Amino acid sequence: MQIYLPIAEVSVNAFTLVGLGGVVGLMSGLFGVGGGFLITPLLFFIGIPPPIAVATGANQVVASSVSGVLAHVKRKSVDFRMGWVLLAGGLAGSSVGVWVFTLLQRIGQVDLVVQLSYVVFLGLIGMMMLQESIRSLRRSRNPTFRKRLHQHNWVHRWPMKMKFRASGLYISAIPVLLVGLAVGVLAAIMGVGGGFIMVPAMIYLLGMPTKVVVGTSLFQITFVTAFTTLMHAVSYNTVDIMLAVLLIIGGVVGAQIGTSLGARLRAEQLRILLALMVLLVCGKLALDLFLRPDELYSITSGAR
């Protein structure tokens, strides 16, 4: 069934969009990431103009993360104090990101910067996750190994220390703000929630315990993507609500199926699976950058 999107001004198959939302929702339920890093490139691929794909992608992430964060609040696995500090950084980052996005669009380098950021971030994180989960898988087979509570690293020597009780941490607020800021910028430029950056950053950089990581990141993502959606809607009129609704319908159903599926699988195996998928997307994008493209020319609307 074809449906005409009022803002994107293209006609697409409604079932394709619902299916797309469903697949991405499944991933988000399974891995606790928003799935924006998959949905935005997929929307490009089916012919949605990049600015609309990015803004609407952010709106879709709001829906999936609200659904997730509610479950975590019930389980008391959200560190609200950490969440608010991350959010402060995130809102600042999102404003910067929306501004950078328009600048890039004007100089015609949006695709390049978005692709490069995907390749760099996905590559780094995929490798880190793969390494870590393989190590912990080995560890679980070798029960004599004892794990330290968390490692003390450079993050613990910075000023402006704060107590984060739910996480059991006493660390500087600066790295927390910086993580929030980075994720806010990515949310605005790449149309992603940034969970795939934030979850590893919280575990490996801030040393947060895994049980509060997903809930806290979802809490921050909900607000940052909501803010990003509003910014895009008000400044550039690029949110397509019809597109968003179709993606959300698929997304929320997929997310619920993913959550119940995730409860039955082992955490290490899940992490290896996610790491491999992240690396796969990264590899595909890297190939596009380094190989000679089939079409050297491209069109952007508007002239300077």
* Interface residue with another protein, options 244, 275, 282, 285 (CB under 8 A): 244
Nearer to another protein, 108 or 153 (CB): 108
Alpha-carbon distance 216 to 81, whole Å?
9
153-192 positions binding another protein, by CB under 8 A: none
Residue 255 has φ and ψ, to the nearest 5°, of: -65, -40
What is the Cα gyration radius of the chain?
Answer: 19
Using CB under 8 A, which of the segments 128-136, 158-166, 202-210, 289-297 binds another protein? Answer: 289-297
Nearer to another protein, 181 or 221 (CB): 221
Using CB under 8 A, which of the segments 4-12, 35-43, 86-94, 207-215 binds another protein? Answer: 4-12
Nearer to another protein, 162 or 226 (CB): 226
C-alpha distance from residue 187 to each of 172, 198, 275 (Å): 24, 11, 20
Q: Does 98 bind another protein (CB under 8 A)?
A: no
Alpha-carbon distance 54 to 237, whole Å?
12
* Interface residue with another protein, options 23, 71, 134, 279 (CB under 8 A): 71
* Interface residue with another protein, options 141, 144, 147, 297 (CB under 8 A): 297
Nearer to another protein, 73 or 270 (CB): 73
Taking residues 11 to 40 in sequence order and writing x for each that binds another protein by CB under 8 A, - otherwise, the string is: x--xx-xx----------------------
Nearer to another protein, 260 or 269 (CB): 260
* Interface residue with another protein, options 96, 230, 270, 279 (CB under 8 A): 230
Nearer to another protein, 276 or 289 (CB): 289
Strand partners, 163: 170
Nearest alpha-carbon partner for 222 in 98, 48, 29, 86:
86
Please tell me whether residue 10 adopts helix, strand or coil conformation. Answer: strand
Q: Give 157-212 as a DSSP string.
A: GSSSEEEETTTTEEEEHHHHHHHHHHHHHHHHHH----HHHHHHIIIIIS---HHH
Alpha-carbon distance 169 to 82, whole Å?
10
**What residue spans of 237-290 are helical by DSSP H?**
241-262, 267-290
106 Cα distance to chain centroid: 25
What residues line the site for another protein (CB under 8 A)? 1-4, 6-7, 9-11, 14-15, 17-18, 47, 59-60, 62-68, 70-71, 108-109, 111-112, 116, 226, 229-230, 232-235, 237, 239, 241-242, 244-246, 248-249, 252-253, 255-256, 260, 289-293, 295-304
